[in-house]
């Protein structure tokens, strides 16, 4: 079992917002930037890796029951997105790594178990 908090510490992710739910348990990863693709395919408990940072990502994460959102490649995050994720309690984390590199690191720290 891996929580968002543990993952975040292991990968030294920047903790941005929605931090009261860092104990969400992670199962699986979904990568995507087209919202209707993400909506259709993300599974509850997934980490969602994206470079999309506008407010609409929060609604997709909430409805898709993502464990957290990781913003890749240090993309700049809208203030409204941060506010909404705090309201909704969806953790947003950020990394300088690309989506691909993040996926590899996540696989390593979870020993492929998520």
Phi and psi, residue 74, nearest 5° = 50, 30
Among 9, 12, 34, 75, binds another protein (CB under 8 A): 34
In terms of phi and psi (left: phi > 0; alpha: psi -120 to 50; beta: otherwise), the region of 65 is left
Q: Is 25 in the site for another protein (CB under 8 A)?
A: no
Q: Is 60 in the site for another protein (CB under 8 A)?
A: yes
Q: Is 111 in the site for another protein (CB under 8 A)?
A: no
Q: Is 28 in the site for another protein (CB under 8 A)?
A: no
Tell me whether residue 10 or residue 86 sits nearer to another protein (CB atom).
Answer: 86
Give the residue from 12, 112, 7, 9 showing the smallest Cα distance to 66.
Answer: 7
Applying CB under 8 A, the span of 17-25, 56-64, 67-75, 95-103 interacting with another protein comes to 56-64
Q: Is 82 in the site for another protein (CB under 8 A)?
A: no
Convert 55-92 into a string of H (helix), E (strand) and C (coil): CHHHHHHHHCCCCEEEECCCCCCCHHHHHHHHHHCCCE
Q: Which residues bind another protein (CB under 8 A)?
A: 33-40, 44, 50, 52, 54-60, 62-64, 80
């Amino acid at each position: 079992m891996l929580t968002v908090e543990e993952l975040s510490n292991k990968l030294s992710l920047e903790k941005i917002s929605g931090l009261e739910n860092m104990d969400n348990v992670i199962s699986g990863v979904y990568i995507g930037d087209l919202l209707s693709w993400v909506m259709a395919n993300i599974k509850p408990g997934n980490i969602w890796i994206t470079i999309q940072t506008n407010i609409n990502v929060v609604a997709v994460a909430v409805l898709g029951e993502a464990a957290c959102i990781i913003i890749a490649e240090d993309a700049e995050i809208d203030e409204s997105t941060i506010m909404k994720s705090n309201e909704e309690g969806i953790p947003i984390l950020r990394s300088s790594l690309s989506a691909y590199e993040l996926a590899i690191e996540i696989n390593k720290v979870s020993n492929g178990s998520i």
